[in-house]
Structure 1
Amino acid sequence: MKIMQLLPELNSGGVERGTLEIARALVDAGHESLVVSNGGRMVSQLEAEGSQHFTLAIHKKSITSLWQIRPLRRLIEQHQPDIVHVRSRVPAWLTHFALKGIPSAQRPHLVSTVHGFYSINRYSAIMTQAEKVIAVSDSVVKYITDYYKNCPPEDIVRIYRGISPQEFPHGYQPSAQWLGQTFQSFPELENKFLVCLPGRITRLKGHETLIELMQQLHTQYPNVHAVVVGGADAKKQTYLDELENTIQATGLRENITFVGHRSDIREWLSLSDVVLSLSNQAETFGRTALEALSVGTPVIGWNRGGVAEILSQLYPQGLITINDQVSLLNTLQQHIEQPQKVQPVSIFSLKAMCNQTLELYQSLLNKK
C-alpha cells in the first residue's frame, strides 16, 4: 500500500505523534509512507524511520492556503497514493478541492481522523466527509453521531489511540543521571510529593484549578509540590505571565515549578506521585493520562471525554465529578496520605491502534 497522511505541522502533540506512529507501522510492514505538512521538528525523525516528507504550507486557517490546492493536486497525481488520510481541517479542505480536479476513477481513497471536539459548523463538517472516519474514542463517536447527521454511522470506525508498553513500562524509574540533572536544575523538587500537571500552557488545561488546589494544600502539606510540564508558545506567553503573577500573589512561588516544553515526559510522569488531568473541556482521548497509568503513576481527572473512558477502565478511583473542587481536594489528600498502586496496563496499546488502522486501509483497497 502507498499511504499519504496530511496534517498542518510536525512539531509536537497527539496528532503529530499519531502520524509518526502510523508512518512507522506502514514502513515496518513493507508499505510506502508519505507525509505532507508545513514541516517542523519531528520531520527528521519521520524521515529517519523510512517515510518521505513533502513540505507544503497546509497549516494556516487563511484564504491564502487556497494557493496550495494546485501543488497538492500535483503531488497526489505524481505519487498516486492508494489512500489519502487527512488529520486536520485545513488539510482536509485543501484535499477536498485538490481531489475534485482529479478524474474520479484515478482518485485515491479518502480517510479522515477526528482528533478533536471541533466547533460545530460547516468548516468542521469536512472531517466527517471521508469514505471512512476514524474516531479516537467513544466520546468522539458520540460527538460525530450527535452533530453530523450526514455522516453514516457505518462509516465511523472507533480506533483508540494507543501507547507502547515498552516505551512506558510499568514501574519505570528514571536513571540516576537524569535524576541528578533534574534536581540540579530544579533543587526544589527533591524529596517532595510531586503533583504533575502535564500539557501545553493554554487556558484549556486547568492551570488555575491547580493553583487553587495548591493554595488549599500547601499549609497542611508543606511537602507537596506541583510541577507543570509543558511549554508556552509565543502566542500564550501573556497567559503564562498571568499564571506567574497569580502564583506570586498567592504566595505559592516556592510550591509550583514550571519546567517548560520537555521531550522526556516518561521520566516526569514516573517521577511524579500523582498526575492530574484538569482540562476545562473534554479531551478526545487523554494520552498523557494513559502514559502516566502505564508507568504506574496514579491519575486524578474530571469524569468526561476520553480521560474518563481510560480512567473508568484502568483507575476508577481517580475519577472526579466535573468541577467538583471538594472531591478533587479530598481525593488528592487520600493519595498524599496513602500512596495508591496502579495495576499494569494491558489495553489501549499502540500495536492495536496501528494494526486496526492498517486493516482499515486494507479493507478499502479490497473493496476496490
Structure 2
Amino acid sequence: MPLTVVQVLPALEGGGVEQGTIEVARELVRRGHRAIVIAARGRMASTLEEAGADYLDWDIGRKSAVSIRHVLRLRRLLRSRQVDIVHARSRLPAWIAYAAWRSLWPSSRPRFVTTVHGLYSVNRYSSIMARGESIIAISATVRDCLLKNYPGIDPVRVRVIYRGVDPGMYSYAYEPPADWRVIWEREMPMLSGRMVLTLPARISRRKGHQDFIELIAGLKDRGVPAHGLIAGGAQRAYLLDELRAQVARRRLEGHITFLGQRSDLREIMAVSNLVFCLSKAPEAFGRTTLEALSLGVPVIAYDHGGVREILARMFPEGAVPAGDLGALLQKTVDFVCSPRQVPPSTPFTLRTMLDQTLALYENPAGSI
C-alpha cells in the first residue's frame, strides 16, 4: 500500500542533509509512494521538485518565536493528508514535528522518525533527535554517541544507515570531460608538474585547514613538488583572512590556492593525486572521503569518527593519528614517493542507503 512520507528540514541549500532528503524523496516517488518535503526554499528546491515530490516552502528551521505557528499548520497537514511517516532531519524542525505529532490522538499518529546527521552537543535541545520511534544514525560513531549520551534510548530503535554514493556519479577512475580539463588547465597553470593535494572542506576552524597549510609547508621544506588546493566556501570572511595570513607567514603564496565554493568538486578530486580529511573533531560520516575513494583517489585522513569507519573498510592505509602533524607529513611523503591504489569497490552505495531507509519506513519500530 502506498505510503505518504513527510520529511522536515530547515532549508534546501547545499549539503549532505539536503542531498539525502532529495534522494529519499526521489526513491519514494519511483516506488509509487507520496513524498512531501517541508523546508525553506534554497538552491536545491528545483531539484526536489524535478524529483516529483510535493514541496512546501515553510521556514520551519527559523529560530524565532513565530516558528511555533508551524505546529498547528503541520498538525493539520498530518491529518488532512493522512501521513504515514514524519521524518525529522534537524533539531528545530524535529521539535516542531514532535509537538504536532504529540498533539494527535495516539491511534491517529503517523510514525515519528529522526535521522541524526551530526555529533550534536549534548543538551535538551539536541535530545529531540533521540525521541524518534525509529532513529537513523548515519554511522556507528553517531549511534555510539547517542547511546552513550542518552542512556534511556532502547538500542533496538537505533538503526545505522550509512550515507552512500551513486557509482554512476562517482565512478572508479572517472575522467572529467575534455572541455572541463581545458578550462581547468588554463585557470590552474601552477599545477603543471606538481602533485595536486586537495582539502575539500568549508572554511572553519574545525576542518583542519591550519594543519593542511603546515603540511604543504613541510613538503616544501623537503623539496616535494606539491600544490595544495583548498575547496570550500567561507561563511565568515575573517576565517579565510586568518588562513591567508598563515599562508603568507609560511611564504606559501605560490603553493596553496583557495578555490572557494565549487560545483565541480567531483572533477577537482578526480584530477588530484591525494585528497585529505583533517577535521580536528570526529566527523559524523565524511562524505567527501567516500566520494574521493569511490573515484579511486587515495585519501589521507585523521583516524577518528565516521571517517575512520570509511577508511577501515575501503582504504585503511590512509589513516593517520588525529592531530599528529609529523605522522601526517611522513604519510604524505610516503604516498608521493610510492603512490597507492584504492581498491575498485565501495560498500557505501546510494542504493543500499535507499533500500534500508525504505525498509525502515515500511517496517518501523514500535512506539516510544
Please, what TM-score do these two structures have when normalized by structure 2?
0.96
Instruction: Tell me what 2:108 maps to.
Output: 106
Cα deviation code 1:286-317 (max 9, x no counterpart): 11101100110001111111100010111111
Aligned alpha-carbon RMSD (Å) = 1.5
Residue matched to 1:194? 196
Matched to 1:124, the amino acid is S
How do 1:251-290 residues align onto structure 2 when only pairs under 5 Å count?
Answer: 251-290=251-290
Match of 1:306 in 2: 306
CA contact (8 A) 2:133 2:365 kept: no
User: Deviations along 1:192-212, whole A, 9 cap, x unmatched?
Assistant: 211110021111110000111
Distance (whole Å) between structure 2 residues aligned to residue 191 and residue 25 of structure 1 = 44
Q: What letter matches 1:203 in structure 2?
A: R
Partners of 2:74 and 2:205 in 1: how far apart?
A: 34
Percent identity of equivalent pairs:
41
Residues 105-254 of structure 1 correspond to what in structure 2 (within 5 A)?
105-221=107-223, 223-233=225-235, 236-254=236-254
8 A Cα contact 1:112 1:128, kept in partner: yes
Match of 2:315 in 1: 315
Which runs of 4 or more aligned residues in structure 1 lie more than 4 Å from their structure 2 counterparts after TM superposition?
A: none
Per the alignment, residue 81 of structure 2 pairs with 79
Which residue identity lines up with residue 177 of structure 1 in the other structure?
A: D
Give ranges in structure 1 of 5+ residues lacking alignment. none
Aligned to 1:330: 330
> In 1, Cα distance between the equivalents of 2:148 and 2:226?
42
> How far did residue 173 of structure 1 move?
1.2
Partner of 1:341 in structure 2? Answer: 341
Cα shift at 1:191: 3.3
Please say if residues 137 and 161 of structure 2, whose CA atoms lie closer than 8 Å, have aligned partners that are also in contact. Answer: yes
Contact 1:82 1:365 in 2 (8 A): no
Superposed displacement of residue 63, structure 1 = 3.2
C-alpha distance in 2 between matches for 1:141 and 1:48? 33
Structure 1 Cα separation of the partners of residues 79 and 153 of structure 2: 27
2:358 alignment partner in structure 1: 358
SS of equivalent to 2:24: helix
Per-residue deviation at 1:151? 1.2
Corresponding residue for residue 9 of structure 1: 11
Structure 1 residues 77, 191: CA separation in 2 closer, same or farther (over 3 Å shift)?
Answer: farther
TM-score (norm 1): 0.96
The answer on whether the counterparts of 2:157 and 2:365 sit within 8 Å (CA) in structure 1 is no
Maintained 8 Å contact 2:314/2:346: no
* Comparing 212-221 and 56-65, the one that deviates more: 56-65
SS of residue in 2 equivalent to 1:162 = coil
Equivalent positions of 1:80-99 (< 5 A) are 80-99=82-101
Cα offset, 1:66, TM superposition: 2.0
Q: Would you say the 8 A contact 2:278–2:301 is kept in 1?
A: yes
Q: C-alpha separation between the residues in 2 aligned to 1:104 and 1:290?
A: 41
Q: Deviations over 1:194-243 (max 9, x none)?
A: 1110021111110000111111111333520001111112xx21111111
The DSSP-based 3-state class of the residue aligned with 1:6 is: strand
Pick closer, same or farther for the CA change 1:221–1:18 going to 2, 3 Å: farther
Match of residue 64 from structure 1 = 66
Do the aligned residues in 2 keep the contact of 1:33 with 1:51 (CA within 8 Å)? yes
